[in-house]
Chains A and B, each alone.
Chain A
Amino acid sequence: MSHTATQSGVPSVVPDTASAPTRWQGQLGRWRETWRVFVRSPLGVLGLVLIGLFALMSISHPILMATIWDRTTYHPWVGFDYDAIAHPTLPSPKHLLGTDALGRDVFSQLLYATGPSFGLGLVAGLVAVATATTIGVVSAYYGGMIDALLMGLADAFILMPPQIVLLVVGLLFDMDWPQLALIYGVFAGLGGLAVIMRSHALSIKVKPYIEAARVAGGSSGYIIRTHFLPNMIPLMLLNMMFTVAGSVLTEALLSFFGRTDIRLSWGTMIWFIKETFRLSPTGEQWHAILPPGLAIMLFCGAFYMVGRALDDVLNPRLRRR
């Protein structure tokens, strides 16, 4: 605020809106600070690096297919290598991870399968977090009957963890990954996550600036948009990480048992080896079974690590003294 002298000599206090930080600038500053603390934890950085690597893998596949790989040999599901005598073959300079029993390049499959995994994880994560936050904020903000009803619902959904429901429903119906992601997200968001979000929203509700906003005449929608949501984003991000890890693991399990309709994912790769073990024992196909399993482990592990590191960041008492 700048003080300008009026004609009568009495300084008047005029708010100097040009120099005060905007609301989003303040928010960005907080996020920058969060990032700075985040990069101090080795787990978080490792997780981010791994996620970056997987992102690189997924975009490199179409590039490779368009440039150096020819379609007949390297296509993930209809490719066939005519040069080798018998398939599967071990890793060679031509096929970095060898081929599977149907003569398809394992490395190409691995790269292609990264896409559905990202898609599945992100859809499930977003749906879960969106549902949970909506329920949590509405429940906390309006309180009373709505709160009791929504929390009663959440209580019942805690008893239906998304992994188990998805396992049962997935065993009955073969679904593609968007449907799987949707079901996982809905069941994850309606259960324990909703209760967590509600607790966090309650802790925001008692803050004085909420009351100030109401007094200043802010509508409910405005308060929720401007004050609740930005403060819930860190927690949303945290839970999204765990949801991504859980959904990819569950999908891999279902695909392993052959109960999904996904064209190609890491789980289906392992399932295929299981199916073709008669053509060559599973032990001989180690080059085909190790990469997808490792990929699942590193992918889910990376998201989990980022989630854990975010947990460290968001809980100020955990920071190194």
Chain B
Amino acid sequence: MLRFIVRRLTRALVTLVVFQTALFLLIQALPGDYASTIMGPPAYKRGLRALLGLDAPVWQQYLAWMGGFFTGDLGNSFQAPTVRVTDILLAQSPRTLLLFLPAVLLGFGLGIWLGKRIAWHRGGRLELGSSLTGIAFYASFPPWLVFLLVNVFAIQLGWFPPENLINANRWFGVPVSVNSVVERMLVTVMIDAGLFAGLFWLTRRAAAPRRMRWLGSFALAMLTAGVWLASGRAIQALDILHHLALPLGTLILLSFGETMLLMRVAMIEFLGDDHVLMARAKGLPDSAVRDRHVARLALLPVLARLTLQLPLVLIGSFVIERLFLWRGVGQALFTAADYQDIPVLMGILSVVGIIMLLAHLLLDVLNAWLDPRLRDATFRVSTRV
């Protein structure tokens, strides 16, 4: 197992170098550089080029690019040349993660939950109806969906605010920054998710697991609420949550469909297996057979395919950030595009690439741990789903 991890890590590093090189070639392939878009006398342009390092020979720029990338320096933004791209991304990413992480967890969770249910009752209207709904949401045009949801929930019903991250009135005189509250919320989300997963794992052999899980989840919720109330920032956190509801909801609706269909496909593959028949013969309740025996196996290939969906969810979150004016990395992407700010754009592409690489790595290691046949092969798709 360890040998596999080491081999996989070295491959990941090589991939990273190739990826960065490809990004650099992409920048060079774009016609014209920043200085050509600025209006001014040629001497000014020359000075600008020298300042931004655009007049150095290509190989020098390449070395600077790669060196900077591996030391964490992604260059300076063209919009404000004293600001480092890394700083911009670090400042914006908690907000994006606060939207993206729960969307991934809840969206995939909902998809898996629905998928295993509709696969269990094959045929019939539930399967067709759920599939159609899932596909309708998955294939729907995000701005159109946002338009609909905002119109219904924000304007007509008035339950949620139609845009923005915070309501400035509720932050009047608060001594902490928005980012710090967002970061703390992010930490809360991650800790809670971990504790929730731990709860599920610990109660797997309990006598009445469902009751214990409900009690445990309730206790966890109370604990979280208590901690936040004690910190005195509950109102601000609630404000952010209030603004998070619609963007998060839209993102979940956009992403659950594919997971649901994949889960259904994976479940059906295992429905006829002998061990399922055995479990039924033993007298296990239907839900136990479905969850503990079939769904557990079906999760493997679904997890393997999750990496292919991550970019879609990511791009969905960028677009949703722009539409809801949720000031995160997505919003920064569009602003940078407005200003032709290439370092920020390439920086975001690099970061997206790194996130994808980490996700692939994690899922490969997870897959190899669960299915030992994969540890010897280098490139193999585990189960054909």
- Note all chain B residues with C-beta closer than 8 A to A199: 379-381, 384
Contact with B along A238-277 (1 / 0, CB 8 A): 0000000110011011001101000000110010000000
Chain A's closest residue to B30 (CB) is A172
- Note all chain A residues with C-beta closer than 8 A to B342: 172
Task: Tell me if B334 is interfacial: C-beta within 8 Å of chain A.
Answer: yes
User: Given that A256-B143, A297-B139, A304-B138 are contacting pairs, would A167 and B265 also be in contact in the complex, using a CB cutoff of 8 Å?
Assistant: no
Q: Across the interface, do A304 and B30 meet the contact criterion of CB distance under 8 Å?
A: no
Q: How far is the CA of A267 from the CA of B345 in the complex (A)?
A: 23
- Note all chain A residues with C-beta closer than 8 A to B272: 317, 321
Q: Across the interface, do A159 and B269 meet the contact criterion of CB distance under 8 Å?
A: no
Tell me how many residues of A have a C-beta within 8 Å of chain B: 59
Closest CB of chain B to A38's CB: distance in Å? 15
- Note all chain A residues with C-beta closer than 8 A to B353: 159-160
Q: Across the interface, do B143 and A245 meet the contact criterion of CB distance under 8 Å?
A: no
Sample of 5 further A-B pairs with CB below 8 A, known A293-B144, A296-B139, A308-B261: A43-B131, A43-B132, A199-B381, A301-B139, A317-B272
Interface residues, chain A, CB within 8 Å of chain B?
42-43, 46, 151-153, 155-161, 163-165, 167-169, 171-173, 192, 195-196, 198-199, 245-246, 249-250, 252-253, 256-257, 259, 266-267, 270, 282-283, 289, 292-293, 296-298, 300-301, 304-305, 308, 311-312, 315, 317-318, 320-321
Closest CB of chain B to A117's CB: distance in Å? 12
Q: Across the interface, do A315 and B269 meet the contact criterion of CB distance under 8 Å?
A: yes
Q: How far is the CA of A253 from the CA of B322 in the complex (A)?
A: 12
Interface centre among B26, B140, B141, B272, by most A CB within 10 Å? B141
Chain A's closest residue to B137 (CB) is A297
Among candidates B139, B143, B311, residue contacting A300 with C-beta atoms closer than 8 Å: B139
Q: How far is the CA of A301 from the CA of B261 in the complex (A)?
A: 13
User: Given that A152-B18, A304-B139 are contacting pairs, would A158 and B379 also be in contact in the complex, using a CB cutoff of 8 Å?
Assistant: no
Q: Across the interface, do B312 and A257 meet the contact criterion of CB distance under 8 Å?
A: no
- Note all chain B residues with C-beta closer than 8 A to A317: 268-269, 272
Q: What secondary structure prevails in chain B residues at the interface with A? A: helix
Q: What secondary structure prevails in chain A residues at the interface with B? A: helix
Q: How far is the CA of A249 from the CA of B22 in the complex (A)?
A: 25
Q: Across the interface, do B381 and A195 meet the contact criterion of CB distance under 8 Å?
A: yes
Q: Across the interface, do B144 and A296 meet the contact criterion of CB distance under 8 Å?
A: yes
Contact with A along B281-309 (1 / 0, CB 8 A): 00000000000000000000000000110
Task: Tell me if B128 is interfacial: C-beta within 8 Å of chain A.
Answer: yes
Among candidates A163, A172, A311, residue contacting B315 with C-beta atoms closer than 8 Å: A163
Which 3 A-B residue pairs are closest in the complex by CB-CB distance?
A293-B144, A171-B337, A161-B311
Q: How far is the CA of A252 from the CA of B143 in the complex (A)?
A: 10
Among candidates B14, B26, B31, B141, residue contacting A293 with C-beta atoms closer than 8 Å: B141
Task: Tell me if B360 is interfacial: C-beta within 8 Å of chain A.
Answer: yes
- Note all chain B residues with C-beta closer than 8 A to A289: 144, 147
10 CB contacts below 8 A, A to B, read A151-B379, A152-B15, A156-B18, A160-B23, A164-B315, A165-B26, A168-B349, A173-B31, A301-B135, A301-B140
| Chain B, range 350-385, C-beta contacts under 8 Å to A | 352-353, 356-357, 360, 378-381, 384-385
